Every structure is written in C-alpha cells, then in structure tokens.
Copies of this chain bind each other. A is one copy, B any other.
Amino acid sequence: MVTLKDISNKCGVSRATVSKALNGQSDIGEETAKHIREVAKSMGYLPNATARALKLGRSHNIGVLFVDQTASGLKHEYFSAILNSLKDEAEHLGYDITFISKNLGSFEMDYYEHAKYRNCDGVVIASVDFKDPDVIRLAQSEIPTVTLDYVFDSRTSILSDNIAAMRDIVNFVYEKGHRRIAIIHGEDTSVTQKRLASFQKICSEHSIVVPEAYVKTAVYHDPKSSALATRELLALAERPTCILYPDDFSFIGGMNELERQGVSIPRDMSVVGFDGILLSQVLRPRLTTYRQDAETMGREAAARLVEAIEQPKLFIPQQIVVSGLLLEGDTVAHIEAQK
C-alpha cells in the first residue's frame, strides 16, 4: 500500500507537504505540488479513508436503516427505488452508504451504537418500526438523521404526499362518475392515517357519504387480505362501483377475487392501485394507480442529510413533501353519475 510516507521519501519532502499538495492547500509551491501529484499518481497512491476518518472525525459514510419486516423492506420496489437513488446521490456527494443493523456479529448493539461504532456521519431511517425504542434513540441522538415517511420532532423528513395522492385519486374517480367508492387500507400507520383522512375529506367535499362498510382494513402487500376485503365488498347489498386498493400488490389479490366471481374490470368494477410498480403498467388492462416519486425521495434524503452533516449551523430541519403522479390506466370506467 502506497502511503504519504512513500511519496514523501521519493520526493524528498515531508509527509505534511505531500498531504497539503494532494489536498490543494495554498501554502505549497506550484512546482513542488505538481511534482508531488505526478509522483503520487505514478506510484498509484490512494488515500486511506480509514486514516482520514480517524483524524478528521468524519467518515464520509452514511448509514441506512432498512429493515425487511414482512418482506416489505428491500424487496419492495418502492424502497428499492428509494435506496437506489439515495445511493446515487450520496455517491455523487462523496459519501458511501452502509447498512445499519442491530447485532453486528457477536456484539450486541442497537442502531445508535452501530452508527457510532462505524462513525457514520449521518443516517437515513426508512422502512422500520418507528415506535421501536432503538429507532427513537437513534432519531433523538446527536447524529444527523433523515426519516422517510415519518416525522420525528425537529428532524428532517421526506414524505411522499399521501394526502395529495388520495385527493387526486378520489377526484379522478369522481370525475369518472363514481359516487360509491370503497377503500381498502393498510395497517394503522401514519401513512395510512393520512390517506384515510384525505379520502374522507375529499369525499365529503364532494358530498359523498361513505358507508362504514365501504372502509375495509387489510395488510399492505398482502393479496390474501385484500382478496378477503374485496369479497366482503362484493357481498354488500349495495356494491361500490369503485375500489381503492392500498397498493398494487394488494390489488392483485382483489383482481383474482373479482375474476373468480366473474366481475370484469373495469366494466363491472373500477379499481385503483397505489405505488405504480412496474408490473402494474404491463398488466392488461393497465392499472390506474398512483406512482410515488421514489427517485426524488431518495435523492432528497441524501441531499438534505449531507446538508445537515456539512452545514450544521445553517441547517434547518424541514419536512419535504414529494408529490407523485396519477397513472391513468384503464381500470376506471366512465359511468353515469348516480346520485
């Protein structure tokens, strides 16, 4: 391994001079600096991130908390996409990313300790149980953090705009003439709450009364539970004309149930998904769904975190709301508006 020392020997200057020359400090002569840079290159010198981190107290490393709870973590397209753009942006800004977990080998440590142990300059928290005391400890620590789809006090968070999403969806189906709109929602999380509240609000703005039976609970990304909810909706005396699903994957479960009962989409029943996963756009009929802008979310998360790291004084925690886009597929029929 080529070190500063090797270069300084070869050049006949001190290590300090080499360091400064390579870092472009101003107090090194033009000539010397150039020569040093050339020698460094010819010797194949690479800075040692570890040594640098130790000395500077900055690792240029961002921790990422992604927990694969019920297979909806990394495998989920939404989070994969976020992670991907997060990674690209972080790298662009000169940071690497490392996964943070509990229990590294035989060491027992919580997230905060792990992040400290690795000298992470900051951490992005996503796709975890935000009620977990260990998560809370990390979020309240002195380490800069950015959360995704969850707000911690005086912390920056990146939020997909679930409120606008639901507004757009309801408005869209309303325009198509639907008045009997059912919604199947996921478990009780802050995201779910926002969507439901927005759903109710927009419905009431349109003077639509939503019967209790039209609001069904299911589990995110679980086709079975959404199939069940769908069955219950179909069993109602007054069927809805349109069903909103908590995500595209859940929609598949509903789709199967509808097909099983010979209910044609969108002729007999209109449906809307959520997420806009690749699949939903290649199925026929193409699913009408809401695509969250995962690319922007990942990018923003990285950018804001790096800001918090590099300009702690200037930094102001904020909630960044990223809006998505309604993908108009072919699963919402235009119908005669009933009362």
Contacts and interface: CB of A to CB of B under 8 A. Distances in A.
B84 A46 contact: no
Interface string A280-314: 00111000000000000000000000000000000
Contacts of A98: 61, 96-98
A105 B117 contact: no
A113 B2 CA distance: 12
B104 A96 contact: yes
A279 interface: yes
Given A223-B282, A282-B252, A105 B83 contact: no
Contacts of A87: 99, 101
A73 interface: yes
Interface string A98-111: 11010111110100
A54 interface: yes
Contact of A284 (B92, B259, B278, B283): B259
Interface in A234-289: 249, 252-253, 256, 259-260, 278-279, 282-284
B283 A252 contact: yes
Interface of A: 1, 46-51, 53-54, 59-61, 68, 71, 73-75, 77, 80-81, 83-84, 87, 91-99, 101, 103-107, 109, 113, 116-119, 223, 249, 252-253, 256, 259-260, 278-279, 282-284
Contacts of A81: 74-75
Nearest to A107: B94
A243 to B, nearest CB: 17
Given A95-B105, A96-B118, 16 more contacts: A46-B113, A46-B116, A48-B119, A49-B118, A49-B119, A50-B54, A54-B54, A74-B81, A74-B83, A87-B99, A94-B104, A94-B105, A97-B98, A249-B279, A249-B282, A252-B283
A170 B38 CA distance: 60
21 contacts: A46-B109, A48-B117, A48-B119, A49-B117, A73-B84, A74-B81, A80-B80, A91-B101, A91-B103, A92-B103, A94-B104, A96-B98, A97-B98, A98-B98, A249-B278, A249-B282, A252-B282, A252-B283, A253-B282, A256-B284, A279-B279
Nearest to A79: B80
A98 to B, nearest CB: 5
Contacts of A94: 104-107
Nearest to A92: B105
A3 B51 CA distance: 17
Contact of A50 (B47, B106, B119, B249): B119
Contacts of A59: 50
A74 B68 contact: no
B93 A105 contact: yes
A328 B284 CA distance: 24
Contacts of A48: 54, 117, 119
Contacts of A284: 256, 259-260
